[in-house]
Chains A and B, each alone.
Chain A
Amino acid sequence: MPQTLVEQILSKKTETTVRPGQIVMVEIDQVFAHDLSGPLAISQLGKLGFAGFKSPEKVRFFLDHASPSSTVASANEQKTVRDFADEWGVELLDVGEGISHQIVMERFARPWDIIIGGDSHTCTGGAVGSLAIGMGSTDVAVAMYLGKTWLRVPETMRFVLKGHLPKGVYSKDVMLHIIGAIGSGGATYRSMEFVGPAVDEWELHERAVMPNMAVEAGGKCGLMPSDSMTRRYFEEQGRPQDYQPLTPQLDAPCRFEMTVDVGTLEPQIALPHNVDLVVGVNDKKARGVKVHQIYLGTCTNGRVEDFRIAAGILKGHRIAKGTRLVATPASRQVYLEGLKEGLWTSIIEAGGLVNSPGCGACPGVQTGILGNGENCLSTMNRNFRGRMGNPEAFIYLASPACCAASALTGVITDPREVLA
């Protein structure tokens, strides 16, 4: 009987044939928390009588949300995490290393792994075929303590992507289009499986956007094939031994199937204050809207390829008066690659500023908080009211190209007009 990707992984792990709706107990391969979810997880471990990790190599802590710390309170929370990791001999990825999800993808996630993370965008790991699921601090603490967790086998929604991305259109636009179509609760409790000839030709930076934003449709996880592109990515990352194939079975029964011809899409914008309020860039609700801040970065679009696109548009130009541009690389690796390529020079000479790797302005706990009534256009994944720290501000979501093009004009602009 053919199975969806999530069913294949859970069947292998449990050595049974799983069915959607079933509750299963699984051993986990990796578990992590960060500076916001970590302190509570550590306190819960204390209540459980924790006295050491059975498999410390499976456990990691990241300090990414305030990177570096922004208040005395965040400095003390981070100190708690640092001290705990040091005491119990587990890996700490300190401030400046970057966003947990990006580092997990670069260095740790493997196809067929089950990864539990104390952050909703843990689902990013699906880009390399990991079953990566976001949970809260207590679930993470128990996963660290017992080395296992319970899961409900999710139904699958299959998205078959075909065609070639037109100039100025990226996987970000495809994902915004899908979320606009199914709604921000459209995939609740489900696995979103992204397959098809378009996916086959996408490199990992393009793929990662899809599972990263699965949670914005309510998805439990997002999964993609592990194939020759994945193998190449692992080789480039210096860990070819981590590659294993994970092959979609397109005849596996699933709850829902949607085919998207990506060749027909135009650049998309999510309007405030919900990710499913999606329109084309030339819709009157988007085009020409004044932009006070552009934010480039995050676990969605903070990779070197994203900054290459943005820097290519900005190079040799000045961003518009009255618009500021904040760029934050997703990881130290991205930061260094961008440095070698001169991407930050292009951005800074255009009038932008570049911050140290991490979550940056996205969670609203540090640099880049918006003023009352201001509009931000960002490569982020969510635009809820108050997300960037101020409930009186407005967040629009788009691709890196759209953000860079709009930085030059000061208003939301179709990137195809500057890429021509």
Chain B
Amino acid sequence: MSNTGRAWIFGDNISTDLIFPGRYVHLLSNMPELVKHTLEDARADYAASVKPGDFVVAGDNFGMGSSREQAPVIIKLSGARAVLAKSFARIFFRNAINVGLPVIEVDTSGINEGDDLQIDFGAGRLVDRTSGFERTFEPLPPIMTEILADGGLVAHIQKHGDFHLV
């Protein structure tokens, strides 16, 4: 897996209301339709044009607000490889790992729209191949790394029968 993709730039304080607008709550049981509205109120062009493997790139406090888990689910189903942000709201951060969406806390300043990004999750390294710079990031805590590696929390519990604290 090449782990490369294009950057979609978002600002600070992207709320779960912007990621998954409450007016689409009637689509909760219809994921293929709901995914068409991913991040719609932050960027109306995202859902229709994002390519598998692209990155959602944001500023501070990504995912603030409600605990609705469909927010990271639809970002994952939209095809995004990961969300990179300067910081995350904690419920979103935990939900993302639980549903198998990689989230990376990293300095995203200087990344421009459409930049070609490469991520090495294990080494904690981000390369912006368009703008020509490299950054390192702290790996996730071991329990989150393991949940993510297992494909999310349900798969983790199915595999170990319990939380597997390392």
Contact = CB atoms under 8 A, between A and B. Distances in A.
Nearest 6 A/B pairs, CB to CB: A136-B69, A185-B61, A136-B95, A364-B22, A73-B26, A384-B15
A74 B27 CA distance: 10
Nearest to B141: A23
Interface residues of A, number: 56
A382 B17 CA distance: 10
A339 to B, nearest CB: 29
Given A139-B153, A146-B157, A386-B41, A134 B67 contact: yes
Interface stretch (B86-94, B106-114, B115-123, B128-136): B86-94
B163 interface: yes
A148 to B, nearest CB: 8
A39 B25 CA distance: 12
A97 interface: no
Interface of B: 13, 15, 17-18, 21-23, 25-29, 41, 60-61, 64-70, 87-91, 94-95, 98-99, 141, 143, 152-154, 157-158, 162-163, 165
Contacts of B162: 146
Contacts of A47: 154, 158
A269 B91 CA distance: 26
Given A48-B158, A138-B69, A39 B91 contact: no
Contacts of B29: 39, 73, 76-77
Given A37-B69, A142-B157, A77 B22 contact: no
Given A138-B69, A388-B22, 20 more contacts: A48-B157, A72-B26, A120-B65, A120-B67, A135-B67, A135-B95, A136-B67, A136-B68, A139-B98, A150-B143, A188-B88, A218-B90, A365-B23, A382-B65, A384-B17, A384-B18, A384-B64, A384-B65, A385-B15, A385-B17
A220 B90 contact: yes
Contacts of A17: none
B165 to A, nearest CB: 6
A184 interface: yes
A119 to B, nearest CB: 5
A78 to B, nearest CB: 12
Given A135-B91, A365-B22, A385-B18, A36 B28 contact: yes
Contacts of A390: 23
Contacts of A149: 163
Given A48-B158, A385-B41, A218 B22 contact: no
